[in-house]
Structure 1
Amino acid sequence: MSVAPSAVDLCRALVQCPSVTPQDGGSLSVLEAALKQAGFATHRVIFSEPGTPDIDNLYARIGSGAPFLVFAGHTDVVPVGEAAKWRFDPFAAEVAEGAVWGRGVADMKGAVAAFAAAACAFVAQHGTQKGSIGFLITGDEEGPAVNGTAKLLRWAYDRGQRFDHCILGEPTNPQALGDMIKIGRRGSLNGTLVAHGRQGHVGYPARANNPIPHLLRLLNGLIAAPLDQGTAHFEPSNLEIVSVDVGNPAWNVIPAEARARFNIRFNDSWTPETLQAELRAKLEAAGQGADYTLSFEPCNALAFLTEPDSFTDVVAGVVERKTGRKPVLSTSGGTSDARFIRAYCPVVEFGLVGATMHMVDERAAVADIEALTEIYAAILEAYFGY
């Protein structure tokens, strides 16, 4: 009988793989080896699409019956920024002051290691007589998210894989382990607004048409009134202007156009189509004859909710019992691959504390990684009736 890996050791081995999107850096091989040793059947699948990098993904399963609980996550990480500003080499996975330090520890190699260690230990103790356990691991969550989880899910579905529930190991906790479980996510829509004018000399403004005042008026029309008041499980939708650009190096030239970019995190009051229509109506009311164009990026991030049910109760109950904290069921934060998983089965998210994710000196407490492993193990026992 194989010995289950230590979550902390496995986490450190994963962090030592420089898997900045789209590079794998050997991380999937580290995880695959641990799962194979525990008896999981594994598959490495590379997906491609023009204009995007090829991405390596890992699918694993043990057992053949239902229910089928799958763990999902990613091993790719964001760039380190200025490595010289880190206390330790960002890919050394140093252990200091009771924490593992390195890029991707919190988001989310610590959770990947924790649920892999928990699943391996569970299989060694209980086998798979009562169902199946699987893994959906991508290297494209921090990147375009085109050749990762969305395609891996379709690949598995086309081969007859049917998931009953999923736990995604994103760092959901704001301050302490047990703070929060994500049961949904807001949608995300990106837009570009361009106000058109006529270039001319600043000393002869009547011969020109300055687009900047038009743009300011249009932007004010977008943000003057809230989009909504929120819903039962979601905060109000939020529009943030992220850039205003003219690109004019001269002091004595009125520019020909001015542009702004914005992002909206929207709740389940909206679809991308109804939201776009609302924004166009707001601009029409604020435009006062302004010449402008509005365009949107393709949207693959829709608002969704996993309605609380017995599965949610199992996860929340274990978290509360193990941490002493009653977790908030939340839909806050950014997007995640749960937006793809929800089309195949109910999904909740629970992982480590995210306070340092994407930051210099990203880290996670050793005690938290070990406690998260115990939580995942207890969820497996409760889910399969042990």
Structure 2
Amino acid sequence: MYIFDLQLTNYRNYVRSAIKLEKGLNLFVGDNAQGKSNLLEAVYLLSTLRSSRASSDSDLVRRDILASDFPVARLSAEVERSAGNLQLDLAIVGRTTDPSHRAGKRVRVNGVPRKASDAVGQLCAVLFTTLDIEIVAGPPLMRRRYLDMMISQVDRGYLRAMQKYAKVLQQRNSLLKRIQNREAGVHELNFWDQELAHAGGLIFWARADALGHVVPQAMMQMERLSDGLEQLQLTYRPSLGGLDERDAPIDDSEWTARMLKALQNLRTREVGAGATLVGPHRDDVQVEIDGMPADSFASRAQQRTAALSMRLAEASYLRRALGDDPVVLLDDVLSELDARRRRGVLEYIDTFQQTLVTTADPDRLREVMTRAASRFVVQAGAVTRFEGE
């Protein structure tokens, strides 16, 4: 899978830009705050329909047009893939005073309007950023997000289960507060327990299944990048009120049954707390390096290598699940690595059809310059092809 044409209009700091990309490594060079990260964010947004950085859709629309009658950013990509060529178009509508203009995203696949859940993963990408260290050192939310963004691109059933779970969880938490205030009866939880456990079982099972591939791949990458000096361990910690790892459920129906049992066991505590205390929304993945918790005992360099190993494992998972290569996006991460780790990453990403790499320090990335199929300069939201030496 690779993108051969990418267009951005009124997106972030881009007024209008059309970029012809090549197979292989495409290098984007520019000073900080010129639009390099925005460019990779746009590709990832076309893949997942979720921004890697923005807190709202309006943040994605160019500031100069936010006050206009119809503030809209547009992204478009033409993609070659084994499942057939793809035309992907995304419109991001900012807030407007006209009630007939609804803010949000509109997506078309090959010219046909599609729901977000049907458009996610049509273009598949994996994004490496300098913030990836938070996957290892940050709160459980970051590791759940890592799993969710990865699995959603290849499993639409997972994405729909996530959407349903979020809605049911909100309803159930509201009911728990009403029960706590004696405005509702405990028996009313029965229906919501069933709904939550069904969606939760699908999520638990998909996460466990995905990690079955990711874990050995991440361990292998960590060993390779560290020349065998560091060992990475990843362990799924599903929130089920205490699950024996030796007796893990084997399919989604067993996960559902376990969650339903956990909800029933914790009902009194949940009413007291006014919140749901078990379920995928409280999952974690334990990360250890050489047998010690990575967030507390690993150095920043070790944490960064572990996060990088997890991203490389994600790329392998997407390739395996798709039967096609995802587009690999590296946002200014190579310059932070020493020469040995950088060489290890480059050797692996060379096996993928297309990679987009950004840097503000090309002098440190001479080996990347020589590998690049295309080189571009990014300045003030404008992208130009660099043809020099």
Return the TM-score normalized by structure 1. 0.29
Larger fraction in helix: 2
Return the TM-score normalized by structure 2. 0.29
Larger Rg: 1
